[in-house]
Structure 1
Amino acid sequence: MFKRILHFSKITISASPLFFTLNMIFLFVIALSQLGITFSFKLATDTILESQTVGHVSYQIALPILFFFLMICIAGNTGNFEQMMITAYSHKAKQIFAKYFLHKSYQTKQDAFYDHTFYDQYTFVKNNIENTSNITVTLFNKLTLSIYRLLLAVVAISYFNPLIVVGMLLLSFVMIGVNRYVVKKRVALQETYVKDERHAKYYQELLSSRAHAKELRIFKLQDTFLNKWETSYTHYMKAKYAFEVKATWLSHLSSFLQVLITYSLTLYFLYLVQKGELQVGDFVFLNGMMFSLTGALSSILTVLTKDLAENDLYVQKYEAFTGTPTKKQLNAMHETTSQMKSDIVGPFHTLAFQHVSYCYPGASDYAVKDLNFTLRQGEVISLLGYNGSGKSSLSKLMSGLLEDYEGQILLNGTDIKTLPQEALYRYFGIGFQDFARYSLSLKENVGVGMIEALDDDVAIQKVIQKGNLESIIDHLPNGLHTLLGKEYSKEGQDLSGGQWQRIILSRAYMGEPDLLILDEPTASIDPLEEMRLLGQFKNIVQGKTALLISHRIGFARMADRICIMENGHIVEDGTHDTLLQLKGNYYTLFMAQQELYK
């Protein structure tokens, strides 16, 4: 455990060595000032008693009082400054841990995110990055300050009676057992109920987010979702409350023992004063240092058996997800892959599926089963099928997004599993069915299709024309630079589903990709706009390779081949005329929709 803690602490220290050093010095000053407060009480007590003995008040009584107020000023007003020092030396490390988590999340296979067990772990780590990064603060602020206080108190008390220190050590064993139990149970509780907590947050988002406000009201979903939220929240909080009650009673037990021993020693010191074996000033100092000792000891035990152990369990979860971050790996985050060549196996010629099968994690049925399929350079293929037939899964397999498949996928005869992912992606321009709507400018929403060309105005204008975005841009207040969406700015503009669809098409065209994949490209577009896109698309894909995925036949007439998917299989493959003569699935689909596409 300590090896892991020291490794993460080393990252924090190396991120801000100057502020960390200043923080350690500052903590020692705090510990000395707290000792000074207790010692000033002793001096004041001795001076007052001496004044009573001689019968007059000496000006010397002012010195310990001034010293006391000086120590109070130093030790009593350090909270904000200490927090500032913590922020100064730890904020860079928190940024590093968060960035490394995001970096590893990006590198994780897309398949894993369909696995609910993985996603629960991912959610747990994401929600507790702050707890992970707090381990250094726990170690070097809470623990170090308490150790400073403990050492000073031990030195002072041992001068009078070393047996007191032994008694405090016996108390510590009780506190160790209690704190270990509480920590293990608290983390186990979070692991057990992370799904309920995630469900509660999901329904809370449904009830409060702007995106779901319309359907929430139209369909009167508030009570239904509120009940679901309450069920998940109550299930989680009921267990948490029961545990916290038990933990509180156990904590009170150790606290009671600490108070009992401390005040018993106080009575013993008073007894020594009454017998004349201990001076009153020494009693004041010794009693104050004893409370400082018990407080420091309690704090150290809490840190070692509770705070540090709890933080370490969060670190373990973080490390299990990301691996142990090394200096080389952290530096590698800053390296860019955007300059990676997109022709690692030369210009696109063929993409072949050979007996490819894929089953999503946790699913019982294959989304794609024993698929044999070849796409050649210059071909435009229309992939048709009803929802759930495997069309989108095929496109994700083709572009390398899903990796845990059976069989082989060959790009120009090379197995894509042997190719760098970043370079493989550059062959494709993709318009996803579940596309992302970024709260960025329209230009950026288009340019992310090939981020390296974001500042290439010529390339941007070219894809704007291909996606027919001019009419949208003309009606926006800041044209191409208008922020889309109102989530983070009142200046943002909302667009319709069809307008967003045209942006996604332009995004897919960015960078003149070798292979264009459009998944339901006209799902949110009205029939007239679809007809216009059909005519324009013939010019766009001329000489290009494209896979057009849909359950509507609008693009089928212009495709070189039409493939029909059903239950993860390609059940029909041929031209429009060939498949009509076959009078199979395509014939049925075409006849049902022909009135719209005459």
Structure 2
Amino acid sequence: MKNLIWTIKIAWKTQAVFLVLILIGYSLLYLLEPLSSLLIKQLVNGLEEQQMLSKTMIFGMILLYFLISLQNIQYSFSMVFIEKIENDLSCVIQNYFFKAIEKVNLIQFDRSEFLEKLYRSKNMSWYGMSNLLNEIFHMIAQIIGLIATAYLIGKESILFFLLFLGVSFIGHFMDKWYMEEAIENQKKLDKMDRKITYLFELLSEKKSVKELKVGKWFSWILKKWENENEQQFESKIGFTKKWNKKYFALGSAVSLFDKLVLVGLAYSVMESHTTLGAFFLIYNSKDSFINGINALFQSWASIKEQEVYIRELRELLKQEDSLWWKESQEELVSLENISFSYPNREEVIKNVSCTIQKGEVVAIVGENGSGKSTLAKIILGLLQPTKGEVKKRKERINSVYQDFVRFELSLKENIVFGDLEEKERRDLLEKAIIKGGSSHTYEQVKRDENTILGKLFDENGIELSGGEWQKIAVSRGFFGKNPFIIFDEPSASLDPIAEVKQFKSIKEDLREGGGIIITHRIGLAKNADRILFMQKGELVEQGTHKELIEKKGEYAKFFEMQAKWYQ
């Protein structure tokens, strides 16, 4: 119930007036049917008694026609209000959703349970909230309409009221049984749907299609997508067939009951226990009462189902800022005996201790899988160590990842993301463009920083090569007031000679702010102020290139293995 109250509170803050109008509109809509039944009863009894049309009856017929017409008009007006609330409420909830995602510890994205909750919460943040709100108001209006209908039937015949109530409860228990199984089935379908969506994106996005075509894997992935779709369809159709049989049996029983009610009412009229008007009122109200009770239970079941997703969404929205590190007054970064492991895996960082100063250029070196990138994510605050202590100064740390994001936005937006507080500083923008090596792209767009990169949203946008996108990412890292920058494998696509040139350029540009270079190539590392050499998650050696070579330890062996590349 707390989650429902929370939903209504959010909606009330967003559009209180429209909520009141919708509730009034729905209430009138559900009251029209009992009012129409009452009017029909009066008309029939009047005809039976007077055997002719009076002015009152003619007025009653006109009123009945008006009420029927009003249903369609009222529904159309309600839809306008509903769409307004849907739009406003979705915007508010999505804003909360994205701010919560920003606070989520990165390790959560390696947990399938979290990803499934995230998938459901994302759907709920779109139109799920407004659908739930709509369901709540429908249910309130249904209750008002049912009370009116129950009063009219009970006033004429308690027996028929109790019979209708009993039948409606049988339908409710059937629907409850169905809903419980439907929820479990939907959870399975959600898991399948995530995989189908992933495979669909592989088959339709430019980046993956290129690799699939070259590797001739397209048909293989397509077959997997077809198999997943087929399994999902079989799960859906199997569930539908199972319940169609049960509902067919229930429908047959309800049909027989309907005929018995008709016979019973006719007998009651013939025996003068019931008026002809009451006959029409009870029989006309039967379906609306039984269906209304069932619809009420269905609405409640649907609300309870959606409340589960609201609870998951609220749990996600309660994310606190993951500022788990302590503030440092001296070193830029200080790591003390930190260890880290991903869920259900061995430690990938083991008891690492080191300090990094502002203005220092440090290379973290090691083979693939040695823990370099994980250590960098801990320094950035993206991952929280399972053991140990991290201290950082309150200074901006930028990053350039090997798998950098290609923002299909303007050139300026792509770069100023490095420090949005300085986004209007054109001098810093041009400085970052030069340092990142994006001058050619800048000249290509005639120094118009508002040019859109990529053609996803703008046909006039310019396409960049992979190398040009990488330079834009490097420029983004350099944007700001002398930021400390972490480069993750910045030369992965370069040959050994080109990487040495790139590092010399990066080192010179980093001299003011400092930075970390993560690499498995010693061509970059040898020119750093200090080298941290990692092996199997441990920091086994640290020092300058010269010191580590003279030590003739693990780094020296690693250097000798690669030295021939740079001769």
Q: Does residue 27 of structure 2 align to residue 28 of structure 1?
A: yes
Per-residue Cα deviation, 1:267-298 (whole angstroms, up to 9, x for no partner) = 21122223344333332233212332222222
Q: Does 1:136 align with 2:105?
A: no
Q: 1:270 aligns with which of 266, 277, 287?
A: 266
Report the CA distance between 1:563 and its aligned residue.
Answer: 2.7
- Cα offset, 1:379, TM superposition: 2.4
Any idea what SS the aligned residue of 1:134 has? Answer: helix
Per-residue deviation, residues 76-132 of structure 1 (Å, max 9, x unmatched)? 344333322222334433333333232222222112222223223222322344335
Match of 2:306 in 1: 311
Matched, 1:394 2:379: no
Question: 5 Å matches for 1:145-224?
Answer: 145-224=141-220
Distance 2:312 2:203 in 1: 30
Match of 2:388 among 396, 400, 407: 407
In the other structure, the counterpart of 2:536 is 567
TM-score, normalised to structure 1, is 0.85
Report the number of matched residues.
Answer: 565
On the 8 A contact 1:174/1:254 being kept in 2, the answer is: no
Corresponding residue for residue 415 of structure 1: none
CA contact (8 A) 2:26 2:141 kept: yes
Task: Give the superposition deviation at 1:19.
Answer: 0.6
Secondary structure of 1:216 counterpart: helix
2:356 alignment partner, SS class:
strand
Equivalent residues in 2 for 1:459-478 (5 A)? 459-476=428-445
Matched residue type, 1:198: R
Measure the CA separation in 1 of the matches of 2:377 and 2:400.
11
- Counterparts in 2 of 1:264 and 1:131: CA distance versus 1, 3 Å: farther
- Confirm or deny: 8 A CA contact 2:29 2:71 kept in the other structure: yes
Q: Which residue type is aligned with residue 310 of structure 1?
A: E
Cα displacement string for residues 378-402 of structure 1 (whole angstroms, at most 9, x for unaligned residues):
3222222222111111111112211
Question: Match for 1:6: what amino acid?
Answer: I
CA change 1:34–1:314 in 2 (3 A) is same
Secondary structure at 2:456 match in 1: coil
Q: Secondary structure at the match of 1:284?
A: helix
Give the Cα–Cα distance (whole angstroms) in 2 for the partners of residues 127 and 588 of structure 1.
Answer: 53
CA RMSD of aligned residues (A): 3.1
Range with greater deviation from structure 2 (178-187 or 240-249): 240-249
The one-letter code of the counterpart of 1:136 is L
Is 1:434 matched with 2:403? yes
The aligned amino acid for 2:3 is R
Quote the residue 1:321 is aligned against.
316
Which amino acid is 1:135 matched to?
L
Instruction: Tell me which moved more, 570-579 or 143-152.
Output: 570-579
Measured in 1, the distance between the counterparts of 2:260 and 2:101 equals: 56
Establish whether residue 385 from structure 1 lines up as the match of residue 354 from structure 2. no
- Tell me, in whole angstroms, the C-alpha distance in 2 between the residues paired with 1:298 and 1:48: 34
Residue 449 of structure 1 corresponds to 418
State the Cα distance separating 1:519 from its structure 2 match. Answer: 1.0
Change (3 A) 1:186 1:534: same
The one-letter code sitting in structure 1 at the alignment partner of 2:6 is H
Out of 325, 346, 351, which is 1:370 matched to? 351
Pairwise CA distance, 1:254: 4.5
Q: Does 1:111 align with 2:107?
A: yes
Q: Secondary structure at the match of 1:518?
A: strand
Name 1:125's counterpart in structure 2.
121
Q: CA 1:148–1:39 in 2, change beyond 3 Å: closer, same or farther?
A: same
More deviation in 72-81 or 527-536?
527-536
- Separation of aligned partners in 1, 2:443 and 2:404: 24
What is the CA–CA distance in structure 1 between the aligned matches of 2:375 and 2:299, rounded to whole Å? 52
Distance in structure 2 (CA, Å) of the matches to 1:229 and 1:435: 28
Corresponding residue for residue 349 of structure 1: 331
Q: Structure 1 counterpart of 2:458, which letter?
A: S
Range with greater deviation from structure 2 (102-111 or 257-266): 257-266
Task: Give the gaps of 5 or more residues in structure 2.
Answer: none
Counterpart AA for 2:14? A
* Residue 488 of structure 2 is aligned to residue 519 of structure 1: yes
Offset, 1:60: 6.6
Amino acid at match of 1:496: S
Q: CA deviation at 1:35?
A: 3.2
Contact persistence 1:153–1:290 (CA under 8 A): no
Map of 1:445-594 to 2, 5 A cutoff? 445-476=414-445, 479-513=448-482, 515-525=484-494, 530=499, 532-583=501-552, 585-587=554-556, 589-591=558-560, 593-594=562-563
Amino acid of the structure 2 residue aligned with 1:517:
I
Partner-residue secondary structure (3-state), 1:373:
strand
Structure 2 partner of 1:294: 290
Farther-moved stretch of structure 1 (30-39 vs 107-116): 30-39
Maintained 8 Å contact 2:486/2:515: yes
Bigger shift: residues 261-270 or 150-159: 261-270
How many Å separate the matches in 1 of 2:479 and 2:437? 14
Provide structure 1 residue ranges, at least 5 long, that are not aligned to the other structure.
Answer: 413-422
Provide, for residues 513-543 of structure 1, a one-character-per-residue CA deviation record: whole Å limited to 9, x for no partner. Answer: 5532111122235667645533432431224
Task: Report percent identity of matched pairs.
Answer: 25
Distance 1:291 1:477 in 2: 72
Deviation, 1:61, is 6.0
| Mapped contact 1:429–1:513 kept (Cα < 8 A) | no
Tell me the distance in 1 between the aligned counterparts of 2:421 and 2:349.
33
| 2-structure distance, mates of 1:556, 1:528 | 13
Task: For residue 449 of structure 1, give the secondary structure of its aligned residue in structure 2.
Answer: coil
Query: Is the 1:386–1:566 contact (alpha carbons within 8 Å) kept by the matching residues of 2?
Result: yes
Q: Deviations over 1:4-62 (max 9, x none)?
A: 323322322332110111112212322333334334544554566568x46xx767764
Q: Any conservation in 2 of the 1:262–1:291 contact (CA below 8 Å)?
A: no
Give the deviation of 1:491 after TM superposition.
2.5
| Counterpart residue identity of residue 160, structure 2 | I
Q: In 2 relative to 1, CA 482–213 (structure 1 residues): closer, same or farther, beyond 3 Å?
A: same
Please list the CA deviations of residues 490-518 of structure 1 after superposition, one character each: whole Å capped at 9, or x if unmatched.
Answer: 22222112111111111111223553211
Give matches, 1:58-137, under 5 Å: 62-129=58-125, 130-137=127-134
Q: Secondary structure at the match of 1:76?
A: helix
Whether the 8 Å contact between 2:165 and 2:290 is mirrored in structure 1 is no
Instruction: Give the drift of 1:548.
Output: 0.9
Distance 1:446 1:173 in 2: 63
C-alpha distance 82-544 of structure 1, shift in aligned 2 (>3 A): closer
Structure 2 CA distance for partners of 1:252 and 1:374, relative to 1, 3 Å: same
Match of 1:228 in 2: 224
Residues 40, 170 of structure 1: CA spacing in aligned structure 2 closer, same or farther, 3 A cutoff?
closer
Q: Residues 134 and 311 of structure 1 are in contact (CA less than 8 Å); yes or no, is this contact kept in structure 2?
A: no
Give the aligned partner of residue 244 of structure 1. 240
Moved more, 213-222 or 567-576: 567-576
Please report the TM-score for the alignment, with normalisation by the length of structure 2.
Answer: 0.90
Letter in 2 for 1:372: S
Tell me, in whole angstroms, the C-alpha distance in 2 between the residues paired with 1:112 and 1:292: 49
Distance 1:132 1:571, change over 3 A: same
